Amino acid sequence: MDFTVKHSLPGRIRICYNKKKISKRQAALAYSLLSVQDGMTDVSVNYTTGSFLIYYDTKQLSEKHIKAYFMALSDKYLNNQEMLEAVEEPQEQESLLFDLALMTAMHYFKMILPLPVRMILRVWSLGPRILNGIEHLANGEVFHSEVLDATAISMALLTGDTKTASNINFLLNIGDTIEEFTKKKSYSDLADRLISQNDQVQLIGRGSNGEQTEKAVPLSMIKKGDIVAVRTGSIIPVDGEILNGEALVNQATITGEPLAVEKRKGSSVFAGTIVQEGEIFVEARETGNQTKVQNILQMIDNSQSLKVSSQVRSENLANQLVKYNFLLSLATFLITGNMTKVMATLMVDYSCAMKLAAPIAVLSAMKEAAGHGIIVKGGKFLENASVADTVVFDKTGTLTHASPKLAEIHTYCGRTEDEVLAIAACLEEHFAHPIATAIVKAATERGILHPEEHAKVEYIVAHGIATELHDKKLLIGSRHFIFEDENCEQPSDLKQVQKEALENGMSLLYLAEEKKLIGIFAINDPVRKNAVKVIKALHDSGIKNCVMITGDDEGAAKNAARLTKVEHYISRALPEDKVRYIEEQKKLGHKVIMIGDGINDAPALAAADTGIAMGDCADITGETADIVLSAEDGLLGLYKTRVLGSLLMDKIDSNNRKIVAVNTSLMFLGLFGFISPSLAALLHNASTIAFSVKSMQPLLGED
């Protein structure tokens, strides 16, 4: 298992396993094996993330030895089932109050010790913080908050004031502990909120007559040994082995490889990867919940690199202002010569609050969004949504309802309605799309059985489905696919059927066998009830252009645009047409949101500044999107996302102004001698914590 050294000082090192692909039980086993090694003075572990903090005796061990221990652990030990079963899965007990109480007790316990012992312990406890400051200096980071802290403590020691140095260090440690707890709580709150989302997977079983069955169940119900079916466009929900089938699997989320890899019977597959094309049946090795937690933690980690511009400005401003701390301290020394006042000005900086409050505000906004059924993959996308001026909508399943209904069936070549519906349902049940759902639901309501007798199904993006049944080629899909791409025969009443559908705003799905049309399905695709309201609200919030792009015919597109009050629309569009339009708008300087739900929308979502997927979208669409809305809220989630992004930007900018005002006031209070260095440190940390807590407050209100 790969690991990374996150931080290292003589006698102290923090090591994390990469991509958090380590279970709590494996972390506990690693802890047990490491803690008994000679020279290890203390080992602590975060079981959720696989992060180890190790203190060691530098006379016996070096950083090289510690790395060697982790290399030796490898898969030989951490995947040994007997050893894993010998350790209990840990339950982390984290208590902020306990940690603070222990730190306070230790600090004041030193005061009752004999003076020589007390002095030694004080100086010893200051070492790590001074070394940390020296390390930043060695790395060329002269104007860093850690250097400020180390300078203030060193000055107190040089003047013989070990008590002040110890008090400052104690208050800084208290502040660090509270800040770490606050950030970790924001992180875990967001993870808990996302983990509670309910995912559905296709579980394979056996019926009473021995026939294979397939049903949708929550991911949480999947156990080791269960078999799940995964098809084109779906995310593989478990780590496991392919028992049957073959597919091209995109493993970019795990390996970073951009190209899909061919997988067949006997191949291993991993949760979070995507079936780009094909169908596989996977036996689960790891339970769905375990793998989902890992993917979510990875997503949150990735989101931290997708910073909003206000957050980046906060960090840059904080770094720039450190130099002014030093200049003010130098001016204080030159003017007053008073070391106490110099230390007081050094104890206050802008960096802590700015660098902590902004990411906490972003994490909290992402958590709040999740509470409203909006999954945001990075604060950057909230900001992009708030400044966008153009929204591009898909039609079916986005502007129209996610549950369209089958209205009419036209049959040909002597086929009955039940016959063509059974064939269509058998083909469409493999794919997640509103039109497919309407066909399958209609067959179920009519009590029509549709046993799977066809050959392997081929899904042709934005066109339709092709397969064979009883050695005859079957096609189902759009007018363009059936009549232009496949050159199927056109019945005499085709234009009349299309005209009626045009007048009634219906979508048509065509079914052909051996180049002959055997059925046309007229789908009533009603617009969402809140579509008009949401589009008006978007315009009121600053959106200038609302555009609908659909693969449907002119009539269905025109009717949907009229009912939803969308000003512009493009019909009969292919996926590449959507991408081309978005790229053209971006070249003109527009900030574009794309919102859709189908597999064919994925390229357009990737091309937009912000790609938003509806909650009942195909897995590959949700994976490509930057934001995923809940099925319940539908389009209303789009407006909420925009408002939430605007409020987040306002909060970060407001916090920055207040942080500068408060900390500047504290600096001048120290400069004029109104507060001591210890009190300056206390007030500085208190204000940092206050801004952090304020950043955690809801933006839209309580869930």
Q: Band the pLDDT of 159: cuts 50, 70, 90.
A: confident
| Structure-token pair, residue 62 | 């070096």
- Does residue 74 surpass a pLDDT of 50? yes
The verdict on residue 367 lying in a domain is no
Residue 86 and residue 32: Cα distance in Å, rounded? 11
The verdict on residue 662 lying in a domain is yes
Asked whether residue 518 falls in the same domain as residue 560, the answer is no
Last residue within a domain, chosen from 90, 106, 133: 90
Instruction: Write down the mean pLDDT value for the chain.
Output: 80
Asked whether residue 612 falls in the same domain as residue 674, the answer is no
Specify the CATH number for the domain of residue 223: 2.70.150.10
Asked whether residue 534 falls in the same domain as residue 624, the answer is yes
Asked whether residue 265 falls in the same domain as residue 329, the answer is no
* β-sheet bridge partners, residue 229: 202, 281
What residues contact 460, with CB distance under 8 A and at least 6 apart?
A: 466, 477, 481
Specify the CATH number for the domain of residue 550: 3.40.50.1000
Residue 70 and residue 45: Cα distance in Å, rounded? 14
Tell me the residue range of the domain where 44 lies: 3-90
Asked whether residue 433 falls in the same domain as residue 505, the answer is yes
Asked whether residue 467 falls in the same domain as residue 604, the answer is no
Specify the CATH number for the domain of residue 41: 3.30.1360.40
Exposure of 418 in the CB half-sphere (CA atoms within 13 A) = 6
Provide the number of structural domains found in the chain: 5
Asked whether residue 167 falls in the same domain as residue 84, the answer is no
Asked whether residue 617 falls in the same domain as residue 655, the answer is no
The verdict on residue 222 lying in a domain is yes
Q: Which of these ranges, 94-98, 115-119, 231-235, has the smallest mean pLDDT?
A: 94-98
Name the H helices within 337-446.
339-346, 351-371, 379-387, 417-428, 434-445
The verdict on residue 424 lying in a domain is yes
User: Strands 261-263, 610-613: parallel, antiparallel or unpaired by DSSP?
Assistant: unpaired
CA torsion, ordered 425, 429, 433, 439, to nearest 10 deg: 20
115-124, 275-284, 556-565, 584-593: range with highest mean pLDDT: 584-593
What sign results for the dihedral spanned by CA atoms 326, 328, 334, 338? negative
Asked whether residue 181 falls in the same domain as residue 308, the answer is yes
Residue 703 and residue 154: Cα distance in Å, rounded? 48
Exposure of 540 in the CB half-sphere (CA atoms within 13 A) = 8
The verdict on residue 366 lying in a domain is no
The verdict on residue 163 lying in a domain is yes
Q: Which of these ranges, 127-141, 176-190, 314-328, has the smallest mean pLDDT?
A: 176-190
Residue pLDDT, tens place only, 256-269: 455 678 888 988 88
Residue pLDDT, tens place only, 1-15: 577 787 677 777 888
Last residue within a domain, chosen from 90, 120, 150: 90
* β-sheet bridge partners, residue 54: 13, 43
Asked whether residue 357 falls in the same domain as residue 333, the answer is yes
What pLDDT score was predicted for residue 153?
81
The verdict on residue 288 lying in a domain is yes
Last residue within a domain, chosen from 292, 313, 333: 292
Tell me the CA end-to-end span of the chain in Å, nearest whole number.
Answer: 40
Residue 476 and residue 429: Cα distance in Å, rounded? 12
Asked whether residue 261 falls in the same domain as residue 309, the answer is no
Asked whether residue 617 falls in the same domain as residue 549, the answer is yes
The verdict on residue 355 lying in a domain is yes
